[in-house]
Chains A and B, each alone.
Chain A
Amino acid sequence: MTDNEVGNIIQLENVDKYFGQFQALKGVNLTVAKGERVVVCGPSGSGKSTLIRCINRLEAHSAGKIIVNGHELTDAVKDIDAVRREVGMVFQSFNLFPHLTVVENLMLAPRLVRKASKDENREKAMQLLERVKIQDQADKWPSALSGGQQQRVAIARALCMNPEVILFDEPTSALDPEMISEVLDVMIDLAREGMTMICVTHEMGFARSVADNVVFMDQGEIVETGPPATFFDNPKSARTRLFLEQILTH
């Protein structure tokens, strides 16, 4: 590790990503320090999701360098599964395992990877469910829960391997409006506890109150990065201004 990497949990240098001919990411540079909360926003198709999916290598980047908690992600990365355990992820469509109960969703990875004992594993899972205020649903099937409840379970599941950082991929986009705040509340709690977070979202209120830095992307490039106060009140780029006008005026 060189000096400038110290304290940075995630570092992207000149990252390109192609899907066939289409270039989804163009020379993206981003560093995230431990404990930092970053919100990524931008119009659809701007590469936000691709960006965070490259960080845990659900997508392999085409060029450039990605370093996660000291491990560089390459084809030769020895144990990508071990790196992924240090990075939690919450998906737009929850992706809870439908054939496992709520608490079993949280227990699967610790059971298989850590060989955690059943009692200890369940106790830890129940603590996490309590943290997202859903412990009374522990033994139900995911399909019996509302969208907001499912997403809270998904957040608890992302915590079950004690990750260093959590990636959120539009966590509230698939929710009915009345369920958005219960999920955002959980995310705000997490942020207050010092969790490192990278969050793709259109919830500008959340960005304003929680983010240390807001990243604006358009057409695969990072157009502008800055703390929320500057970003929202004094955006530098015309593209950012146009985007903010579009989402804030209604």
Chain B
Amino acid sequence: MSFDFALILDSIPKMLMGIGLTLQLLFLSLAIGTALAIILLLMRISGRWYLAAPTMVYIYIFRGTPILVQIFIIYYGLPQLEFVRDSIFWPILREPFGCAIVALSLNTGAYVSEIFRGGVLGVDRGLTEAGAALGLSARHRFIYITAPIAIRLCLPAYSNDVVSLMKSTALASTITLLDMMGIARTIVAETYAPYEVFLSLMVIYLIITWIIQRTFGWIEKRMSRHIRSEV
């Protein structure tokens, strides 16, 4: 098998034209998904069954089905419904980009809220009791004691999820979006050279993964200053 280096040099800049879209998909759905995760978390730990039960169903559905199926249902399925076409969400859902953002956000929200819940459950109960004994309200205890400690606890799992979301953005190419994966598929269709193109694409994704992991590693180190015994 011969390896066409000229093609690699030619296709990498082309694929990088899609990096903007890949990063938009990543950061937008990460922001929306994280906000959604916080809402789901608060509902889940509210102690009220009518708030907790729907979140459990939601999380079960979105974690229990392939994200590709979720993307297809939102992109191909929802427009079939007239009330969706009449709703205020139609401007978002009529565009493949909007559909991809909605699907990735809903999916990430489900995973991240479980990650956050793990963090909250990991906070020593004695600490919130100490806050209660000082007369801090439940809201203050959550914001100033539970949340900062929980965030540090769930940072490693959260960073894994960001990487996994970044990889999932490639699925947006299946609904016509020209992110890096979409462009790669176009090039392969024209050149019949899948090895060169997809291997170069892998390298680009690996570099993004590396950057994400380094960033979180740095944040984690900063947030763990109080763990090291020397000050």
Chain A residues packing against B (C-beta within 8 Å):
56, 58, 81-85, 87-89, 91, 93, 95-100, 108-109, 112-113, 139-144, 154, 157-158, 160-161
Determine if B134 and A58 form an interchain contact, defined as CB atoms under 8 angstroms apart: no
A160 touches B134 (CB 8 A): yes
Closest chain-B Cβ to A156's Cβ sits at a distance in Å of 12
Asked if residues B133 and A87 are in contact (CB atoms below 8 Å), the reply is yes
With A99-B148, A141-B226, A144-B229: A109-B126 Cβ-Cβ less than 8 Å: no
A85 to B131, CA, bound (A): 10
Docked Cα-Cα span, A160 to B134, in Å, equals 9
The chain B residue with its CB closest to the CB of A109 is: B134
Inter-chain contacts of A96 with B (CB < 8 A): 130
For residue A141, which residues in chain B have a CB less than 8 angstroms away from its CB?
Answer: 225-226, 231
What residue in chain B is nearest A57 (Cβ atoms)? B132
Out of B136, B149, B152, B226, which one reaches A109, CB within 8 Å? B136
Give the contacting residue for A82; candidates B131, B135, B230; CB below 8 A.
Answer: B135
CB–CB B229/A157 < 8 A: no
Give the A-B contact count at a CB cut-off of 8 A: 81
Q: How many residues of B contact A (CB 8 A)?
A: 25
Residue of A whose beta carbon sits closest to that of B224: A99
Q: Which chain B residues have a beta carbon within 8 Å of chain A's beta carbons?
A: 124, 126-127, 129-137, 140, 144-145, 148-149, 152, 225-231
In Å, the complex CA distance between A85 and B134 comes to: 6
Smallest Cβ distance from A158 to chain B, in angstroms?
A: 8
Among candidates A84, A98, A139, A158, residue contacting B132 with C-beta atoms closer than 8 Å: A84
CA distance A76 to B133 in the complex (A): 18
| Minimum Cβ distance to chain B for residue A229 (Å) | 32
Which of A85, A88, A95, A100 has the most chain B CB atoms closer than 10 A to its own CB?
Answer: A95
A-B contact pairs, 7 of them (CB 8 A): A81-B135, A95-B129, A97-B130, A98-B227, A113-B136, A143-B229, A144-B231
Selected from B124, B132, B137, B144, the residue in CB contact (under 8 A) with A108 is B144
Identify the closest chain B residue to A113 (Cβ): B135
* Complex contact A97–B133 (CB within 8 A): no
Q: For A161, what are the chain B residues with a Cβ–Cβ distance below 8 Å?
A: 134-135
* Bound complex: CA A141 to CA B226 (Å): 6
Contact between A95 and B126 (Cβ–Cβ < 8 Å)? yes
Cβ B134 vs Cβ A98 within 8 A: no
Q: For A160, what are the chain B residues with a Cβ–Cβ distance below 8 Å?
A: 134
- Which residue in chain A gives the minimum CB-CB distance to B229? A144
Give Cα A96 to B134, complex, Å. Answer: 12
